[in-house]
Chain A
Amino acid sequence: MLRFVIRRREKELSYAVSSAVAILVSIILSLLILLFFRINPIMAFVKGFLGPLITLHGWASIFYNGLILLLCGVGLVIAFRAGVWNIGAEGQLLMGAIAATWVAIYLIPDAPPLVLIPAMFALGFVFGGLWGLIAGILKSELNVNEVLSTMMLNYVAYQLVYYLVMGPWANPLTNYPVSKPFPENAWLLRFSGPLPISLPTLIIGILMVIFTHFLLFNTKLGYEIRAVGSNPDAARAYGISQQKVIVISMFLSGGMAGLAGVHAVAGGLLMPQLRRPEQISRGFGFIAILVAWLAGINPIPVIFTSILMGLIFLAGYVIQVLFARGLGVTNVFTGVMLLVLSIADTFRRYRISIEFHGLRRMRAG
């Protein structure tokens, strides 16, 4: 009988070391899995991971993905710190995208950019936040498992976008399921430097990271969030309202995913318009879980992990397209990375060895 045995390390490894090892191991594992599907791992690495790094368009895509992941990821940091498993960033992002479309096409289409763009982000935050709030209130008031409620809300938001682009908001000029294009004043890329990256999103993203850092580590509410997340029983004993923490953290978390949704529809290289939900997000809300987790659930490192995951996500997509294997490569990457990360914390604190019939044969770490 083969089994894993773990023993405590005398000295724990640092987060940076365990995260770096986890990323390396998961990239190698993912590429080896591709080998089974007759995709040359070396070619895949060169074209998928190195290819985007040498073109302007590649960097623009990395940052476009990265900014979505940054906003979703930093929001998830708040939720995870509060011990709330928000896996609904995907749906909250889509609600933000719906809000942006509503503002830009129907509410104030003729407004100047300085009014229109802030309004899109503001309403995106509110829509995403309210979508998160539903799950937050259900958890705090009725003890509804937030993993399941946020997941259900993902599917509802997904169908809602489908309904809008095929029904009431469909562009009458085309048969594709898309909305009308946003007015030019709503195009985020009008504000960009030499590299086509949306400056408004970049600024908001950095502000959100600073805000989250300040909130978590310099305010009473942040202290309460961390207390409820790390030790709910003790927090209750100190008279901290668990309900309040859950509701606020879900609202903020959802709101930031909503901001990401505004960027997702209005800040890319494609024409800004509401599209089919899988074209808006392709799973960013889930990959953001990796972003937050790789950052050790801290706001500042999210800046780096989001850009890194932006690259890894792009690599999966490039491999998918180049080797014509349909969907799946990015999902395998995400899954393998999550799996490796789920034991990274054990690896950080324990030595892992494999035993056969009680005899130790192999040793790792």
Chain B
Amino acid sequence: MDLWVITLFVALAIRMGTPLLLACLGEIYSERAGVLNLGIEGTMMLGAAIGFIAAYETQSLLFGFLSAMAVGGLLGLIHGVVVVDLRGNQMISGLAITFVGMGLSSLIAHSYVGRVLNVDAPQIRVFEDVPIISAIFCQNVVVYLAYILSIVMWFIVFHTRIGIEIRAVGENPIVAEASGVNVEKIRLICTVLSGAFAGLGGAYISLIDMRSWTDLLTVGKGWVALALVIVSLWNPLFALFISYFFGALYAFQVFLGIDINLAKMIPYAATIPVLAVASKLARRLGIPVLGKPYIREEEALHGV
């Protein structure tokens, strides 16, 4: 095959994979801290809607992305308060966030359906003449941001004190608390972070990938991102590669030339076996207290 066709394919894979990566990175932090945020799908959607409205009205992509992160962080905060402070059910609360996000995005952006955003993101152009490599490095600044964030967030989790604290909070909250770590604060911050990143990922779809808003824009990308968190074994660097691998599966839809409705199944159907392999691996590495509320004053008594 022509090298430049492969280059196009890789570019498309990166375009499709970047929102997955951004959402995945935030969720890695909240799951590392012991909070599962099933609200990613709805948070991405509301981020996409708010980001689009903000960018469309101000003609500023930066403002769009910042608004999306703010609203995503707010949804994360709601989930965090419900789960961490009020000991609500993580599954139910996460699903709630997804539905609230889906519903609000439809209502808020109702009158923006069909409008097109004509603002280009700044591009960084290096290795322009090298096939394949150029697809990776001739990219807009948000993709570069995603690359850099993967590396920075990997470094923070595994090589800094705050990273150790986050992991301690997720793996053994009782011990973490005893050694002077504020479990609730760290869990809350990480959950807000997962929301903000999901908002950012959603805004990437509406501001750069599609440049428009349609109802239910993310069509399951948030759920795929949640699966990729497990597949990446909660490692931001692995997440970088796996997200783009899944971006390639989305890109296949265009290149495969089979029935579009069958092609659209591919990323979802492929997630299941990949998840199966990763889950077997993760059995030993998984975060043990994931999904359980941390109840400080009674934990010592009842060993909840």
Contacts and interface: CB of A to CB of B under 8 A. Distances in A.
Interface of A: 3-6, 33, 37, 85, 87, 134, 138, 142-145, 147-149, 151-153, 155-156, 159-160, 162-163, 166-167, 286, 289, 293, 325-339, 341-343, 345-346, 350, 352
A152 B87 CA distance: 28
B216 A335 contact: no
A143 B102 contact: no
A13 B227 CA distance: 37
A8 to B, nearest CB: 8
Given A148-B271, A159-B261, A345 B99 contact: no
Interface stretch (B51-59, B64-72, B115-123, B274-282): B274-282
Contacts of B104: 33, 328, 332
Contacts of A3: 85
From A5, A143, A160, A286, name the one whose CB has the most chain B CB atoms within 10 angstroms.
Answer: A143
Interface string B241-276: 000000000000000000101101100110110011
Given A156-B269, A159-B265, A331 B91 contact: no
Contact of A332 (B81, B91, B103, B275): B103
B171 interface: no
Interface residues of B, number: 53
B103 A4 contact: no
Contact of B275 (A85, A144, A160, A331): A144
Given A138-B276, A162-B261, A148 B227 contact: yes
Contacts of A155: 219-220, 223, 265, 268
Given A155-B268, A156-B268, A343 B88 contact: yes
Question: Is the contact region of chain B dominated by helix, strand, or loop, or is it mixed?
Answer: helix
B230 interface: yes
A151 to B, nearest CB: 5
Given A152-B269, A152-B272, A327-B106, A339 B82 contact: yes
Contact of B276 (A142, A326, A327, A346): A142
B191 interface: no
A48 to B, nearest CB: 15
Given A155-B268, A156-B268, A342-B82, A326 B223 contact: no
Given A325-B110, A333-B103, A338-B95, 15 more contacts: A144-B279, A145-B230, A148-B230, A149-B272, A152-B220, A156-B269, A286-B99, A327-B215, A327-B216, A328-B103, A329-B107, A338-B93, A338-B99, A339-B100, A345-B88
A339 B97 contact: yes
Given A147-B38, A327-B106, A336-B100, A346 B86 contact: yes
Contacts of B89: 342, 345
B183 interface: no
Which of B102, B105, B280 gathers the greatest number of chain A CB atoms within 10 Å?
B102
Contacts of A352: 86
Given A4-B81, A328-B107, A335 B272 contact: no
Nearest to A139: B279
Contacts of A138: 272, 275-276, 279
